[in-house]
Structures are given as structure tokens and as C-alpha cells.
Structure 1
């Protein structure tokens, strides 16, 4: 039977409460249509301008999975980084998202995550972190909000 790792000093945590990461993205109409096609999303709101104009929003919109996939990518890239000299191993355990507004082509969208809580989990041998995220049109409203649970472990161990 494996012995669980002792709780390390919080000051050496690989992930910290209040830590943030973000990326700015902009989807073109082609980006939106291509992503929808590649993921099997045939909803005409993602590729048919005329159908989109007749619909509620009046313009091509990105699929929810397009925005959330990029949001997860931002979190995964940041919390598995080693650019500070510390090797990390990351598992994304859970994400939940709510869609608040459509994401249109050519909008500048800020994808942002903030670490809300961190606790040591001896059984898993790493830090469990709850992160809060949002995709926000620059200087405006959130389009997507999310919450995730991450497991961050020492990659050198």
C-alpha cells in the first residue's frame, strides 16, 4: 500500500489562491464555422449567415464548446507550466459552464481564470484548486462563466 504524501508547506504550493491567467482571442466567421464543423456541430447559427440573421441574435455566433474549449486550454496551459522552473503535472478534474450571452465573430474576448481555493489532498498527492473563470467581451459583459476543479502535482516528484 502506498503511503500518502505529507502536506507540504503552503508557501511552496504550485498553485495559489488569487493566482490568475488570461488570454485574449478573436474568432473570425471562418474560425467559428471550422470549429463547429470539426466538432460535428451542424447548427446553422455557426455557419449560415442567412439563418443566423433570421434567428434571435441576427449574426453568426460561436458554439459554446468553442469558447469553453479555449477557456479550458488557457487553464491547462497556465497551471501545467514550467516557465518558473517548477515542473507541474495537471489534471483537469471538472468544469461547469453557464452561457450568458452569445459570442460573435470579430469580438475581442478575454478568457480569464482566478484561483478561488487551494487545499492539499494527500490521497491524490497534490493540490486541489477551485478556479472561477469567465469569457468577457472586452470592456463589456461576460458571455460565459465557469468553475473548475484542478489537481496540480509536482512534476519532478
Structure 2
């Protein structure tokens, strides 16, 4: 297991300033399918006419669809082993705020950055506090988030 490093708040598993990013695009069908699979019956996710009458004027992705993709990005990145370090990850906490709608066919950039890292002896791993956002290219964020991850080395 990765040993604690005194005072620096860094480890070989996760470090302050580390980032990960992915670009996604939801089709109208993706949005409708996700809403159906999660029992979200809000017509803004699948009914074009209802969406046109509403505030934003077109189909929008549910907040849970965007946040699920953001959490998936964090989980994939911080549990990776492509750098020679085998990791175990637990997502402990996420909070999100919705700032703007996510429309179908928009290119959405998902991004996380590690703000702080601290060793937690009780949990036997590194607590990484991450700040994230989902942004339409060249625009303000649609979703902002914060999370706490527990990253542990896998003894092998």
C-alpha cells in the first residue's frame, strides 16, 4: 500500500492538481432512454412538444444523467492502473449544483481536478477532495460538483 507522506499531502496514487477530462454528447434518444431507465417521467427529457412549450424550448438531459457521467469519469480515472499503481477506489460523497440545461447534441466537457489530498489512517487510504464541472464548449458550466474519494493502493 502507498505509505503516507508527511505534510506534503501527496502520494503516488493521487496528487493535488491532478485532472481528468472526457467529452460526451447525449443524443435525444440517449436522453429519453436514460430517463426511461431511471423512471424519470419528466416530459422535458422525451416529449419534444412539451419541451418546446417549456422554459428552455427543447429536450434537455436530466441532471442525474450528467452527474452519473461525471461520477463515472472520477471512478474510472481514480481506480485506474495504467501508470503501474493498482488502486482501489470508493466514492464517499458528491454534491452537485445545476447552473444551465444540457441540451441534446451538445458537446459537453466533463472535468475533475484534485483540490486537496490527505492521509486518513482510520480508512487506510488517501482522501482526495475533487472539484468538477460539466461545460458546453466555450460556455459557462452547466453543472458544478465537489466530491470526496478514498483512494487506496492494492497490495500485490
The secondary structure found in structure 2 opposite 1:72 is helix
The secondary structure found in structure 2 opposite 1:56 is coil
Structure 1's unaligned 5+ residue stretches are none
Give CA-to-partner distance per residue, 1:10-45, whole Å, 9 cap, x none: 554310000000100000000000000000001000
The secondary structure found in structure 1 opposite 2:14 is coil
Structure 1 match to 2:70:
71
Residue correspondences, number: 153
Distance 1:12 1:97, change over 3 A: closer
Indicate conservation of the 8 Å contact 2:78/2:151, yes or no.
Answer: yes
Name the CA distance, whole Å, in 2 between partners of 1:12 and 1:112.
21
The secondary structure found in structure 1 opposite 2:35 is helix
Name the CA distance, whole Å, in 1 between partners of 2:92 and 2:79.
14
Structure 2's unaligned 5+ residue stretches are none
Structure 1 match to 2:4:
8
Query: What TM-score do you get using the length of structure 2 for normalisation?
Result: 0.94
Name the CA distance, whole Å, in 2 between partners of 1:48 and 1:141.
26
Structure 1 match to 2:17:
18
Structure 1 match to 2:30:
31
Structure 2 match to 1:96:
95
Coordinate RMSD, CA, aligned: 1.5
Query: What TM-score do you get using the length of structure 1 for normalisation?
Result: 0.94
